[in-house]
Amino acid sequence: MSPAQSGGHLAITKNKSVGKVLVLHAWWGLNKTIKNYCDQLAKEGFTVYAPDLYHGKLTVEIETAEIYSNELSLEQARSDLDNAIELLLDQTSHSDKGISVIGFSLGAFLALDLSNNRPEKISKVVVYYGTGPDDFTHARASYLGHFAEFDVFEPQTNVEELESALKKSNRPYAFYQYPDTSHWFCEPDRVDAYNAEAASLAWRRTLEFLRQP
């Protein structure tokens, strides 16, 4: 299945690939913000693919996004992500380092789940203001988390529970909280929440994490 057929967004570096990255969109759908994020990663040397988990549906309204996210079954998402992994692996012969996965909000939950569900494939996970499963016994990945100081969707208790689960499973992780930020602070199209300084710092930390051996 080609990226065009799947509706996803493939961004390929012009140079030798330094790694493979899946990017999982927030509950708005596969919008321009996520595509631009993929393109920026490709400029940094990564081969990147963002699957369209909504199969063409997009919104900017919270009420509609909530409906779309509730309609997305975990079974369907897992199937789509299996296909996305195979598509990404087909882009490069360098499969020994595993795949990094980055998830925004809804995509963060799915990224965390994927690290448990496909531990042999996923080596690194980056989550932006999202949490997930409470058991990482099967995971083999290392984790990086970016969280907002004031987040009505992901309160601090959720972050602490995720941290506890990773500790219990002996998974390496680093979490950062960004002062004076709220949910979606790294998404430029969310003008009510976007924080350029925090987004830039999270970007630099993400690149450093992805480039680690």
Residues 70-87 have a mean pLDDT of 96
> What is the pLDDT, as a whole number, of residue 128?
98
Residues 152 and 9: their CA atoms lie apart, in Å, by 30
What is the domain-level CATH number for residue 142? 3.40.50.1820
> What is the pLDDT, as a whole number, of residue 137?
93
pLDDT digits (tens, 9 = 90+) for 169-186: 999 999 999 999 999 999
pLDDT digits (tens, 9 = 90+) for 113-152: 999 999 999 999 999 999 999 999 999 999 999 999 999 9
Is residue 195 over pLDDT 80? yes
Residues 191-202 have a mean pLDDT of 97
pLDDT digits (tens, 9 = 90+) for 104-120: 999 999 999 999 999 99
> What is the pLDDT, as a whole number, of residue 97?
77
Residues 6+ apart with CB under 8 A from 34: 9, 23, 25, 26, 50, 104
Is residue 208 over pLDDT 50? yes
- Whether the Cβ atoms of residue 138 and residue 122 lie closer than 8 Å to each other: no
Residues 53 and 78: their CA atoms lie apart, in Å, by 10
Count of structural domains within the chain? 1
Residues 213 and 210: their CA atoms lie apart, in Å, by 8
Domain that holds residue 35: 3-211
